[in-house]
Chains A and B, each alone.
Chain A
Amino acid sequence: MSSLSMALRLTPYLARSSGSSLRETGLRDAGLPVLAFGTVTALLLTVAGGSQVFWSWSDDIAGTYQALAVVAMVLLIIPLLTLGASAARLAARRRDDRLASLRLLGANSATVVWMTVIESTVLAAVGAVAGAGLYACMAPFLGLIQFRGQAIGSHAWLSVPSILGCILAVCVLAAASAALGLRKVVVTPLGVRTRQTADGAHWVRGLIAAVVVVIGVVAMGMLSSFGAFIVIIAVMGGCFGLALLALNLMGPWILRLRASSQLKRAKRPEQLLAARTVLESPKESWRQVGGVAMTSFVGVFVGVGMAVADTMGPGATDETALLVRDINTGVMITLLGSFLMVACSAGVNQAAAVLDRASTLVALDRVGMPLKLMVAARVKAVMSPLFLVAGISAAAAAVLVLPLTGTVLLTQPVVFLTIGGVFAAGFLLVRLAVAAGTAQIGQVLARPERYASMDS
C-alpha cells in the first residue's frame, strides 16, 4: 500500500515541521482528544477491574454478576466508537491548512486520510496510556467498592497484559472509527470539508426498531431453553445489543420530530439556530447523546426496582439482599460512566464542529453576531436532545415500574435522590465538556485571519 507508506513517512514530518504553530494551537487542540481517550480508557479499565472479581466466583449467583458485567461493557463500547470517529474528525480539522497544502503538493487523498488516521491513533495511544495511569491511581479506591458484602480489594488490579490489551484495543477502535469517520471528510487542495449528505431520519426507522424489539423479546422468551449458562449470557448480551440497535434506529427520528416542533416555536435566535443544527443532522445529534438512553432506562428501572426489592426485607435471603445492593452500585457506576463517555464525545464533537465552520463563525462575528449567542446555540443543540433522551428513557422506565414507584417514593426517598443526583452530575459533566468544546469559538475569533482566507 504505497499511500500508507507515504503517509508513514510524512506524518512525523507534519508534526515536526509545524514547530511553533504546533505549540501554539496543535497541542491545545490535541488536548481534547487525548483527554477524551484517557477518560474512556480509565473508565473501561475501572469497569473491567471492578467486575474482574465476578469471574473468580463459580457459584450459582456468579452468572448473574457476569451477565451484568457484560451488559455494562456493551453499554460503554458504543459511545467509545462514536468518540473515536469524532476525535479523528477533530484531528483532520486541526490540520486543515497543512493537509490541504500537502494535497496541493500532490499527496493523494488516501495518503492524507492515512496520515490523519495515524495521527488520531497516536493521540488515542497517548490518551490510553494516560488513562491507564489514571486507573492505576484510582485502583486503591476502586478496591473499596463492595460486592457481595466484601470490598473487592486487590481484585481491582488488572494484570499487566490485560491493561496492555485494553490500551491496544482502544488504539485499534480509535483507528477503525477514525477511518470510518473520515469517510465524511473531504480533503481537497482548498481545505478540509465535511461532506454534506442528506440525512433522512425516516419513520421506517421506527418500524425496523419495532421488528428488532420483537426479535429480542422472542429470544428472551426462549432463554430458559438454551441450557448452557454461557449461551444464556451470550443471548442476553445479544438481546441487549438488539435493544440498543432499536434505540439507535429510533433515536434520530425522535430527535428530528422534537427539533421540528422546536423550530416552529423558536422565538429567539439561539433557539432557531439550535433547532436547525439538530435538524441538519439528527443522526449526528443522536450519536452525541444516544449513549445515555439505555443507561438512563436501566438506571431508573433497576434503581427503583432494586429499592423495592430491598424493602421486602425479612423474606429475602442475605445473598439476594446483597445482590440487590450490588446491582444498584454497578448500575449507578455504569450510568455515570455513560454520561462521562457522552461528555467526552460531545466535547470533542463540538471542538471539531467549531473548527469545521470556523470561516462562517468569523464571518458571523464580523456581521455582529455576539459570541455568547453562538455558544448558547451550540450548547442548546447538545443539551436539549440530551435532556429529551435521558428524560424519555427515564420516564419509560418509571412508567414500567410505576406500580412500585409510589410506595418507594414514600418509604425510600433516598432512592430518588440518588438517581436524581447521578443524573444531575451527568448533565453537569456534559455541560462542562460542551463548554470546553465551544471555547474553541473564542480561539477561532481571536485569530480570524487563520480561518477567513476566503474574503481577501
Chain B
Amino acid sequence: MNAILHAQQLTKHYPGSIALDHVDFTANAGESIAIIGPSGSGKTTLLHCLAGILRPDAGAITLNTPSAPLRLDTLGDAALSRLRREEFGFVFQQGMLLPELTAVENVALALMLNGTDRGTSESRAAEWLGALGLAGMEQRRLGELSGGQVQRVAIARAQVTGARVVFADEPTGALDSATSNEVLDVLLRSVAANSRTLLVVTHDPNVAARCQRVVELRDGRIVSDSGSSSPASGQADRLAQAAPAAPTSFKGAFNV
C-alpha cells in the first residue's frame, strides 16, 4: 500500500475543547475512507487539517506527490490555496457552487482557476456532467436543479481538475435517503474509476458501509480503524467495475 496522505500526532485545540488529540492517520492511494463518529468528535476538523484548510496546533501532515513529499503544515496560505485547487477536490453539504453561474460554468471554473482556457474547461466540464448523468442540463443554473443534481455538479467540480484526493463532508446530509443513495453511488463510482483517494465524513451508516475503510473518531481521537483490508473492499471493486465508462477525450481527466 502506498500512502498518499499521512498525519502524525495531529493536535488542534479550541478555547474550551480539544478537537484533535494526537491523531495518527494514513490514507493510501485509491482508498475510500469513511470518517464517522458522534457530532463534535472532530471529524470536520480532521478533514480540514488533512485538506490544508485548517492549520493544526501541532503535528505533521505529509502529502506524497509524484515529485517529492510535501509538508502541508509548513506551507503558507497562498501555497495551501493553490494545493487545494490543484491536488484536491471537495464536496461539501452545500455552498461551494455559485448560484449565478450555470452548471457547466461552475465545473469549468475549477479548471479555469488552474489556468486552463475557457473553451477547453467548458468542454471538459460538459463531459463530466454528461458522465454523471446531467447531460442536457449544462446550461441550467443551480436554482433550476434538484438537490441531488446540484451535488452531482459538485462531484464533477471536485474531480474535473484531476484531483488526487477528494474530500467530502456530509455530502448527502441535505438529501432524502433515495437521492442520497444515488448521489453516493455517483461519488463512489467516479472516484473509484479514476483511482482517486476519497475521504468522506458521514453520519450515515449506509455511506460508511460502502467505503473500503471506516475510521471512527470520539473526543478527538481515533477509536477504531477497520484498516484497508476490510470486508467492504470487495464491494468497492464491484463498484469500480460498474463505473461509468470514460469518454475518450475524458482520459486526460480520468488518468491523473
Q: A residues touching B (Cβ–Cβ < 8 Å)?
A: 196, 266-269, 272-273, 276-277, 279-280, 359-360, 362-370, 373, 452, 454-456
Contacts and interface: CB of A to CB of B under 8 A. Distances in A.
Interface residues on B, range: 20 to 34
Contacts of B88: 368
A46 B157 CA distance: 53
A366 B112 contact: no
B118 A266 contact: yes
B94 A366 contact: no
B233 interface: no
B85 interface: yes
Candidate in A277, A280, A364, A367 with the most chain B CB atoms within 10 angstroms: A367
Contacts of B93: 454-455
B100 A366 contact: no
A455 B95 contact: yes
A29 to B, nearest CB: 21
Given A196-B99, A360-B96, 20 more contacts: A267-B118, A269-B112, A272-B105, A276-B98, A276-B100, A359-B95, A360-B98, A360-B99, A362-B95, A363-B96, A366-B84, A367-B96, A367-B110, A368-B81, A368-B113, A369-B85, A370-B113, A454-B93, A455-B93, A456-B44
B11 to A, nearest CB: 18
Contacts of B169: 455-456
Contact of A368 (B44, B48, B86, B95): B86
B113 A455 contact: no
A20 to B, nearest CB: 13
Given A276-B101, A277-B100, A363-B95, A368 B112 contact: no
22 contacts: A266-B118, A268-B112, A272-B101, A272-B112, A280-B100, A360-B97, A366-B48, A366-B53, A366-B84, A366-B92, A367-B90, A367-B96, A367-B157, A368-B82, A368-B83, A369-B113, A452-B95, A454-B93, A454-B94, A455-B92, A455-B93, A456-B44
A82 B84 CA distance: 39
B117 A267 contact: yes
B19 to A, nearest CB: 11
A93 B85 CA distance: 30
A279 B100 contact: yes
Contacts of A452: 95
B132 interface: no
B109 interface: yes
Contacts of A267: 117-118
User: Among the interface residues A276, A362, A454, A455, which one has the most CB atoms of the partner chain B within 10 A?
Assistant: A455
A367 B169 CA distance: 13
A277 B48 CA distance: 29
Contacts of B99: 196, 360
B170 interface: yes
A279 B98 CA distance: 13
A378 B82 CA distance: 21
Contacts of B95: 359-360, 362-363, 452, 454-455
B244 interface: no
B234 interface: no
B143 interface: yes
Q: Which of B53, B82, B95, B143 has the most CB of A within 10 A?
A: B95
A276 B105 contact: yes
Contacts of B94: 454-455
A273 B99 CA distance: 11
A269 to B, nearest CB: 5
